Structure 1
Amino acid sequence: MFRHLKTKLTLAYGGLLGLILLAVAGLVLVSVAHSARTNVGAELEATASVYERLWQVNEAQLADNADLMSRDFGFREAVATHDSETVASALENLRNRLGLARAFLVFEDGSALEAGQGRSLTTPAAVMDAVLADDHASGLLAISGVQYQAVSAPVMAPRRVGWVIFASRLDTNELHELESLSPIDLSASIVPADAEGDVNLPPVPNGMIRASTPLDGFGALPAGQLVLNYPLKAAMAPFRPMLVAIAFLAFGGLCVLVICSWFISRTLTLPITRLDEATRQIASGVPVDLNVGSVDEIGRLAQSFSVMAREIELREQSILKMSLTDTETLLPNRRALYQAIDQIDPHDGGMMCVAIGIDRLSQIMTAIGQSATNELMATFGARLQQHELGGTTGIVASDVIGILVPVSNGLSIVQQILDDVSHPISVSGELIDIELSAGCCEIGKYGVLSPVDEAMVALQQGRSRRERVQLFDVDLYGDPSGTLSLMSDMVTGLSDGSIFLAYQPKFDLRRGEVRSVEALLRWDHPVRGKVAPDRFVEFAEETGHIRPLSQWVISRAKADREIMAAAGHDLKMSVNVSGRLLTDTAFLDWAIAELDGACDRFCFEVTETAVIDDPKIALANIERVRAVGIEISIDDYGSGLSSLSYLKQIPAQELKIDKSFVLSLKSHSSDALLIKSTIDLAHSLGMTVTVEGVETADVLHLLQAMGADVAQGYHIARPMALAGMMDFLMAGAQPDKQSVLGALPSSANRKSAL
């Protein structure tokens, strides 16, 4: 909420001391209020005591007058004779003379007379009960809803013939007289009890102080209470000037305190503010010279901070230099080259990034060691840095140094640089010959990758083409991101059914029936449509997805073969296995365990080049697979660099002639001679021969005449899903069988077919 320390300090100190002042003022106010309440309460109690004494005095006077009246001889005789007029007149004379509010005579029979009235009244039962219980009853009596202080005295003539009751009214005047007796301006009221004798006092009004004293009832009649109220505001009035003075002093002291705290906080936080500004300058890379004229702890902190800032600046320069330098060769590194590329002005005519690599550096390092190789790269980099046609350099790989050159001079300038720096390099007194290759890219032309990476790709493209200088070929590079996406889709396709196996029959030309099928991958991509197997299988080999793909194929082929066998078609299943997996012993262990007892019903088709990378392990694994009963077939024979030595070493039972020889096959053609010689060679090595790409009856006729064992192609049947293959087998393949057999030449004319 508050961004400045001085504001926080000001509020902290000012607020704390302000709270102390407010607390003191509050305590004073509470103390004064308590004192006022105590004093007023004492006054109210004293007033109540006075009124209680007045009550008793008034009661004694009334009792004396009543007793005097009851002893009067003439009055007693009038009462005894029930002379109502005389009794009423006597009562009236005495009431006027004594200043009484009301005067009554109650007869033994419950009738009554009031002073000044000649008619007879009925005495309330409660009053009658009171005088019967106590001849000299006294206390609070309600007459016609008005409260009176009443006393009674018996009239004896000589026996009791009635009672005299005198009552003094407790009206507003009486209460005002009581209020006037108090030294404080209070208000008095009488609260009578209800019929049950309970006195329900009204709630104390806000700002009032109350005291009360009980009043006795007339005889057994309900009593009441005298209630005295006094406003607290009036009680606090004498203290108001003092409280106002305290409030002004507290407010003034708080203001002075806040101002002083602000000045003190500002003095304390000024050096800290300068430290904060210096920190921001360091963060933005601006040199800092902090000078705080204080000699206290903050001043020493500022001096230490200034020293730290200078040390950080030196370390930052050192780190920056290290970040732009290769630690092994002390040449500028890839980051330095990127930095130079970022600083290129696009209006300068364009630049090329060239990746110059030393060929066979791994073999050189094996011969001379890592340290000497680092020295070799450092010397080579120094040559490039000193070349007049080159620009900024940077080592971008262990055997590659990047350099920037103008686009305007074309590739000829790169060729000239290679010629100028390719002479032998002396390392530890020994001359080492170097051969150089270069990959080039025009910065900003394609933007497929970073300029350095495009140059590195161009270098690899040139080495694969055996070109000394190669310009980045974007078409050859293709779309690796699309490849990754395709592989991700392939993993999904294995589970959602878009990738499936199709089966193509292999027709046994000697038996005249289908005795085996080949499992072929098919992919109906939901977006790309039909994806060629050659494309995604190749990508799977490059990205490492070939193993899970091959495992899925073997498991699916096994399950489908069991379905065919259950329907009465116990066929041998041929499955293509990537050459990369022939050296993967763990994969072959899995495959043998997966096929288990059905190994003799499977054939693994491999290419003859599958053993080139590691012939020893590949051939050993082939022998192991063959030992458990899985047949080996050499696939696509003749499509690559066929080698008789590998053909001799690979222990295969089947040789498949590539369809490229078959599609254009004619009698007496060179393809026919090659196929015939291959068939004879395979037979001499103990292998059967399967010919792919059979699409016409004439080709089938020729292959039969040449001695081929198995034919496979569209003329026999196209690849079909499992359901279609089952239909094909259930139909017995009779139409195709008849056409095939009808096309077969007899043994007598096979030779003429060649």
Structure 2
Amino acid sequence: MRLRFRSLESRIVTLFLVLIIAVQVVGLFVIQRGIDNNARLAISSELNNGSKVFRRLLEQNAQSLRFGARLLARDTAFVAAIGNNDESDRATIESALENSGRRIKASLSMLISDERKISATTNPKQSAGLQKMALSLLDQAEAADGAIGIAIVDHRPFQIVAMPVKAPITIGWIVMTFPIDRQLANDMREVSSLHTSVLTRDAQGKWLSAGSTFVGPSAQTVVEQLQALGPTRPTGPFDLTVETAKYSARLISIGEDGDQNASVLLARSIDEATAEYRRLERWLIGLALGGIFASALAIVFTAKRIAQPISELVVTAKRLEEGDYKVSIDSTREDEIGALAHAFDAMREGIAKREQEIRRLAYWDTLTNLPNRAQFVLLLNDALVEARGRQEGLYVLMMDLDRFKHVNDVMGHSFGDALLRQVAGRLQLLLANRRQSSAQVARLGGDEFAVLLPGADLEAAQRMAAEILQALETPLSLEDQMVDIGAGLGIAGYPEHAEEGETLLSMAEVAMYAAKQRNDGAVVYDVAMDKSSAKSLSLLTELRNAAERNEFRLHVQPKISLDTGKVVGMEALVRWVHPERGNVFPDEFIPFAEQTGFIRVLTRWVMERSAELCRELATRGHHLKVSVNLSTRDLLDQDLPAKFADLLTRHKLTPGSFCLEITESAIMDDPVRAQHTLERLSAMGVDLSIDDFGTGYSSLAYLKRLPVNELKIDKSFVLNMENDEGDTKIVRSTIDLGHNMGLRVVAEGIESEAVWRLLAALGCDQGQGYFMSRPIPADQLFSWLEKWRPPVAVVAGIDEPDVSYAK
């Protein structure tokens, strides 16, 4: 079984194994703690019972001593011998003491006289050590008919019994002793299975062994560990380590003799006490490991049952991602995974149907059911591969219907759609009649169609083009309407013109537009047709680079008041300093910028630079109104007023600092939107001017509704008005028209003093032209303003020209 790391299967196995192992470990830990606690309790109970047993042994020994001493004390002969107090009876007394002590296994028997002196003893040396303890028991023995005590002689404990001898008064005391030594410890070991050590402790706190069931060094180890406990005497069970074995021990005090103390240490082996428990614990560990192993097998099996179908669904999903929607999905299970598989299978079918529909929408035209441009490109590329392999030619015909926009505008879009379907039908019928099985017709969009002719040469392509044009010349009948429609058709082929599908299609399109411009039916692609397109693409790229590299320069042309000669404004103009071509004139790039929409970028640039210049002029005391030209695209930008307001705010200028110039043709492209934009600008307080007035196509009825403040007479009427009576009449009429409408009139193209004087006499308000100044760089305007002086004769109003011929 192989599990992948971080897979669902491995996570399930890991999770449950961890849980099971954790439960088993916790269970074993609890059991082990329980075993230890139970073992400790059992050992503690054994030690408590052992202490009772030892005390019972001591008591039994004491009773034996008392019984033996009492028998001897009541023996008539022995009492008589004591009463005679004769030296001849001394041997009898000593013999009786020795025999009586031997019977009860006493280590010492002695007689103390009524004078409280040792009169006879079986061990004189030991008697001397026990004399003090024996004498201390005499009064208690006489009062209670016997007394028992513990005596310590040479660090060895003894159990001592004193019994009075009466006849009938006390005539002496019999004292017998029993050693508390290894023999008693062995007896205790046999009775209780507890290790027993008899110990004494002297006045200095040193422990000594008087007998132990521990053998050799072990006995000394017990003494050393007790010594290590310090002066504090353990009151309960404590642990000892003898060699490598652990014991639980209990220390029992059995008596004191002056500053010395006698104790018994009872010890129980912990390992022996827990041996049965350890076997049980090993069994439990074995069972736990077996349970973990069995659980692991079950978990892995269950995880595979859960994860394997999901893994199969993942593989299926990847195949669906690759576009294989025929893969089968097993959904026979009746659990949640089966429900998931069933839902997945339904999703697969739904995706397959939707993708099929999406593909149809993406690659087929829904109106004519013909291939669209994307599908046509695919077909074209496949045909090119085959043409290369067979070393054959291939041609593409592209056509654009004539007057289709007019049909849509007049008859409506539904009529236009029906017309396109009929055109598609005619093209398909034409190819079918020609039995061109490999030819393919497609609708590229709008009213554009294309025909793919594999294995054809130029002559065959031209014949097909002629037949298509002829088929389209036949009027179409729609809704009881006869529609006469034609087409412009372009031809491009492989390998003559291009080897790539997109390039070939683009060349056919270029030829098609050339055919429409020439009104020449079908035109074969020629490389000369495409030069202008390449130049346009190059120019657009260079314009964008020019904006990024700051290659544009702001120029201005002053505007002069014709009656005073005072500078009242300036017109902002843009110049392009090309790094390779040098100065590029506006006529070369402005029209192209307007066509491509780049004019908006230029307009923003001119406005920014003009605002900066206007602000700088104001700081130097020159309050001039700057005029900026707006294109058609600028006028149709509904956000233009907001952008212009932001410009004024950023440069801290008033709206009166600007005059925005628009052409009549720009207004007439979309009069409603243009008027809306102009009204919003006028409401802000910006002056508006109609530029190149007289060259457009606007009606005066519409012009009077525009919120403009100024008319600029086109220079074509001003340049030659000194010599052309017609131009003078047009200028006079325009000036009168502007004044009658309350507008300021500005003349462009003043190139002589005579024209200035003539315009001033006609009442023109302002003018600009080469006579006053050519367009100059913006940074040279300040020096020009300082040098500017109007002609004296003009300002003085002398030698006014005769303008009667213009009246």
Scaled by the length of structure 1, the TM-score of the pair is 0.63
Paired residues for 1:68-87 under 5 Å: none
Q: Which moved more, 1:508-517 or 1:536-545?
A: 536-545
Task: Name 2:191's counterpart in structure 1.
Answer: 181
Q: Note the residue ranges of structure 1 that are not aligned, 5 or more in a row.
A: 78-89
Q: CA deviation at 1:381?
A: 1.8
- Counterparts of 1:334-349 in structure 2 under 5 Å? 334-346=373-385, 348-349=387-388
Aligned pair count reads 699
Q: Deviations over 1:287-315 (max 9, x none)?
A: 568999x99999x9999999979977995
Q: How does 1:271-420 map to 2 (within 5 A)?
A: 285=324, 315=353, 319=357, 322-323=360-361, 324-346=363-385, 348-349=387-388, 354-386=397-429, 387=431, 388=434, 391-406=439-454, 409=458, 412=462, 415-416=465-466, 418-420=468-470
Is 1:426 matched up with 2:482?
no
Name the SS for the 2:256 alignment partner: coil
Q: Which residue of 2 aligns with 1:228?
A: 267
Measured in 2, the distance between the counterparts of 1:690 and 1:371 equals 50
Report the CA distance between 1:440 and its aligned residue.
6.5
- Cα separation, 2, equivalents of 1:524 and 1:225: 118
Q: CA deviation at 1:712?
A: 3.8
Asked if residue 710 in structure 1 is aligned to residue 733 in structure 2, the reply is no
Residues 188/498 of structure 1: CA separation in 2 closer, same or farther (3 Å cut): farther
Alpha-carbon spacing, 1:517–1:366, altered in 2? closer, same or farther (3 Å): closer
Q: Is the 8 A contact 1:551 1:591 kept in 2?
A: no
Which residue of structure 2 aligns with residue 606 of structure 1? Answer: 662
Does structure 2 conserve the Cα–Cα contact (< 8 Å) formed by 1:440 and 1:459?
yes
Give the corresponding residue for 1:519.
Answer: 572
Q: Structure 2 unaligned runs (5+)?
A: 84-95, 201-225, 761-765, 803-807
Is 2:625–2:659's contact at 8 Å kept on the other side of the alignment?
yes
User: Take 1:532 and 1:160, find their aligned partners in 2: how far apart are those partners?
Assistant: 159
Q: 2:627 touches 2:660 (CA, 8 Å); kept in 1?
A: yes
Q: List per-residue Cα deviations over 1:249-305 (Å, max 9, x = no partner).
A: 99699789969997x99999999999999888787647568999x99999x999999
CA shift, 1:462, in A, is 6.7
Distance 1:456 1:168, change over 3 A: farther
CA distance in 1, matches of 2:591, 2:484: 38
- How far apart, CA to CA, are the structure 2 residues paired with 1:102 and 1:610? 146
C-alpha distance in 2 between matches for 1:155 and 1:189: 33
Aligned CA distance change for structure 1 residues 313 and 704 (closer, same or farther; 3 Å): closer
AA in 2 matched with 1:391: A
Pairwise mapping of residues 303-702 of structure 1 onto structure 2 (< 5 A)?
315=353, 319=357, 322-323=360-361, 324-346=363-385, 348-349=387-388, 354-386=397-429, 387=431, 388=434, 391-406=439-454, 409=458, 412=462, 415-416=465-466, 418-422=468-472, 423-428=474-479, 430-438=481-489, 473=530, 476=533, 503-508=556-561, 510-520=563-573, 561=614, 564-565=617-618, 567-582=620-635, 587=640, 602-615=658-671, 632-636=688-692, 653-658=710-715, 682-683=734-735, 685=737, 688-692=745-749, 699-701=751-753
- Is 1:56 paired with 2:59? yes
Query: Does the C-alpha gap of structure 1 residues 139 and 29 become closer, same or farther in structure 2, counting only changes over 3 Å?
Result: farther
What secondary structure is seen at the aligned counterpart in 2 of 1:609? helix
Q: Relative to 1, partners in 2 of residues 1:178 and 1:637: Cα closer, same or farther, differing over 3 Å?
A: same
CA contact (8 A) 1:9 1:261 kept: no
Offset of residue 241 of structure 1? 11
1:377 partner amino acid? L
2:380 touches 2:501 (CA, 8 Å); kept in 1?
no
C-alpha distance 680-370 of structure 1, shift in aligned 2 (>3 A): closer
Task: From the superposition, tell whether residues 243 and 657 of structure 1 become closer, same or farther in structure 2 (CA, over 3 Å).
Answer: closer
Kept after mapping to 2: 8 A contact 1:138/1:149? no
Task: Give the superposition deviation at 1:608.
Answer: 3.5
Mapped partners of 1:620, 1:244: distance in 2: 96
1:505, distance to aligned residue in structure 2 (A): 2.4
Deviation at 1:229, TM superposition (A): 1.6
User: Structure 1 residues 450 and 203, CA, compared in 2 at 3 Å: closer, same or farther?
Assistant: farther
Q: SS of the counterpart of 2:568?
A: strand
The equivalent of 2:157 in structure 1 is 148
How far apart, CA to CA, are the structure 1 residues paired with 2:355 and 2:684? 67
Cα deviation 1:439-469 (Å, max 9, x = unaligned)? 6677995989787788778767876786766
Q: For the Cα contact (< 8 Å) 1:700–1:744, is it kept in 2?
A: no
CA separation of 1:268 and 1:433: change in aligned 2, threshold 3 A: same
CA contact (8 A) 1:102 1:166 kept: yes
Report how far residue 380 of structure 1 moved: 1.8
Does the 8 Å CA contact 2:555/2:775 hold for their aligned counterparts?
Answer: no
**Alignment-mate amino acid for residue 728 of structure 1:** S
TM-superposed CA distance for 1:616, in Å, is 7.0
Backbone CA RMSD of aligned residues: 7.4
CA offsets, 1:220-240, max 9 Å, x none? 976756433235467646996
Matches of 1:286 and 1:631, distance apart in 2? 66
Cα deviation, 1:540-571, whole Å, max 9, x if unaligned, reads 86677877986886688578646645644333
Q: Which residue of 2 aligns with 1:198?
A: 234
d(CA) in 2 for partners of 1:565, 1:246: 97
1:218 to 244, 248, 256: 256
CA distance in 2, matches of 1:210, 1:749: 140
Structure 2 distance, partners of 1:327, 1:370, is 15
User: What are the Cα deviations for residues 181-229 of structure 1, in whole angstroms up to 9, with x where unaligned?
Assistant: 34x6x54446888645434754377996857574444279767564332
Amino acid at match of 2:558: P
Partner of 1:227: helix, strand, or coil? strand
- Helix, strand or coil for the counterpart of 1:203? strand
Letter in structure 2 aligned against 1:409: L
TM-score, with structure 2 as normaliser: 0.59
Give how far 1:592 is off: 9.5
Counterpart in the other structure of 1:81: none
Query: 2:748–2:767: 8 Å Cα contact kept in structure 1?
Result: yes
**Counterparts in 2 of 1:744 and 1:142: CA distance versus 1, 3 Å:** farther
2-structure distance, mates of 1:524, 1:105: 146
Letter in 1 for 2:53: V
**Other structure's SS at 2:558 match:** strand
Tell me: CA distance 1:400–1:209, structure 2 relative to 1, closer, same or farther (3 Å).
farther
In the alignment, the residues of structure 1 paired with residue 731 and residue 72 of structure 2 have an alpha-carbon distance, to the nearest angstrom, of 167
CA distance in 2, matches of 1:230, 1:750: 143
Residue 737 (1) aligns with residue 780 (2): no
2:214: which partner in 1? Answer: none
Q: Give, in whole Å, the separation in 2 of the partners of 1:378 and 1:503.
A: 56
Percent sequence identity over aligned pairs? 20
Confirm or deny that 1:168 pairs with 2:179.
Answer: yes
Q: Is the CA contact (8 Å cut-off) linking 2:469 and 2:521 kept in structure 1?
A: no
